[in-house]
Structure 1
């Protein structure tokens, strides 16, 4: 797992963010070894153990997982789910003001977006793939955080590892359409072909929302074999982007 530097909020809480890698889990084969997704064909027992280790090692009260569908629905949660609870259905973002509750989004090329307002004590996580990012899942998450008391000029964002604009090749028509909805996302790959840089588009989108405190994990999931990549491997696991409030 890799962890960003925690924020030091006025509320006495800290915002913590972690991005997992492939290492340290119980999954085998295509999913080796710290796969956190229940929906990719991995052994459910291995996923349960991996998720349990995540909660224990991060010292969380519990972790919220989503059944992601590349949409814009945001869930607001207040209490930790049971370890065997189903993932929240048809949801790609989640927010909370509850300390110790980990919000997890899963990815294997899409952008895990981890948000936090250290003054209000509100955090959020969004799964921003091509479709969801273009449709507005991140603005939806920001609005849901505001409903809990967050302010845009206090929100800090980490854009996690994802397929980079030099690797993410798409048809020219798709690049044009996505860039129309998410300006700044059009790119060219190393081969000179049409591509997408979703993190670049999300940065421009966030700045347009008035969210200016933005950091990025520069790793490309296709290039870094310590990370899962659906585009590189096809059948594979999912890494987790985790954010939570720590009042310790």
Structure 2
């Protein structure tokens, strides 16, 4: 069983996972609001360089080198200019040492991924849209393309909204469920998944609605790739139900985020 630990930095709490214990990493709380990734990198590894993206709820995973190149050359997928410019994407995969990769989330799933053999890492923002497009498998595939092996991958899924309180439309549930179901019709996708043991889709009393466990869908996607359950850890915290530590868009209807990051070795 993987354990989760609360750490503090200057009295502020952040969460770590035993599965990633050999990597500087953290799922930071709302108490760190106002501290950008460059500052948070100093908490984890002062010598590392930090990287982030403008998240767009897709499945684009870039390397820090690709981010640097895009910032230098510009294009439609770059917002802003100068020091504030950001490249569009929802995941960063690094196989160079001393690179801190960051994602922001409120109710969406932050996934931190590490290769315990090569020291490569990835950080992924997996909301329901990105999960429907299999962003976590895309990120893992980038690491595999860089020389990682499936058996060396470890994945910690951080605090996110849980299925018991995440009400979505049947259409949304089906769009996400389509990534793990052989069915093609939306209602058949949802029905087939609801009937599964430990299902990622739960029934909802309201007509046309369902409850969606996005983290569980990500786990099934990874298991379908050949990753064993013991290589995956899920944080025992729901952002919606833990207001003392985490922002939740569903709860507050305000666009606030907390950051999660990991440093390559």
TM category (shorter chain) comes to: 0.7 to 0.9
In 2: Cα distance, 1:56 partner to 1:92 partner:
22
* TM-score of the pair, normalised by structure 2: 0.74
Equivalent in the alignment of 2:246: 227
1:163 match: secondary structure? coil
Where does structure 2 lack aligned partners over 5 or more consecutive residues? Answer: 1-13, 72-81, 182-198
The CA distance in 2 between the partners of 1:175 and 1:130, in whole Å, is: 9
2:78 match: none
Distance 1:190 1:116 in 2: 39
Structure whose CA Rg is larger:
2
- 1:88-237 to structure 2, matched below 5 A, reads 88-183=86-181, 184-188=199-203, 194-212=210-228, 213-225=231-243, 226-237=245-256
Distance change >3 Å, CA 133–CA 87, structure 1 → 2: farther
Question: Which whole-Å CA distance do the structure 1 matches of 2:55 and 2:144 have between them?
Answer: 22
**Cα offset, 1:167, TM superposition:** 0.6
The question of whether the paired residues in 2 share the 8 Å contact of 1:78 and 1:98 is answered with no
Deviations 1:191-228 (A, max 9, x none): 89611001111111101111220011020010001101
Deviation at 1:185, TM superposition (A): 2.9
Q: Quick one: distance in 2 between partners of 1:187 and 1:18?
A: 30
Q: Could you tell me how far apart the structure 1 residues matched to 2:38 and 2:56 are?
A: 24
Contact 2:28 2:258 (C-alpha < 8 Å) held by counterparts? yes
The answer to whether residue 70 in structure 2 is matched with residue 55 in structure 1 is no
Which SS does the other structure have where 1:170 is aligned? Answer: strand
Match of 1:72 among 39, 50, 59: 59
Query: How many pairs are equivalent?
Result: 218
- Cα deviation digits, residues 161-188 of structure 1 (max 9, x gap): 1000001001223223321224453123
Counterpart residue number, 1:19 = 27
TM-score, normalised via structure 1 length: 0.79
CA deviations over 1:20-71 (Å, ceiling 9, x no partner):
0011x4xxxxxxxx1xxxxxxxxxxxx4x54443122222422111101011
Shift of the alpha carbon at 1:4? 2.0
Structure-2 change in CA distance of 1:191 and 1:163 (3 Å): farther
Stretches (4+) displaced over 6 A: 79-82
The structure richer in helix per residue is 2
Residues 189 and 244 of structure 1, relative CA distance in 2, 3 Å threshold: farther
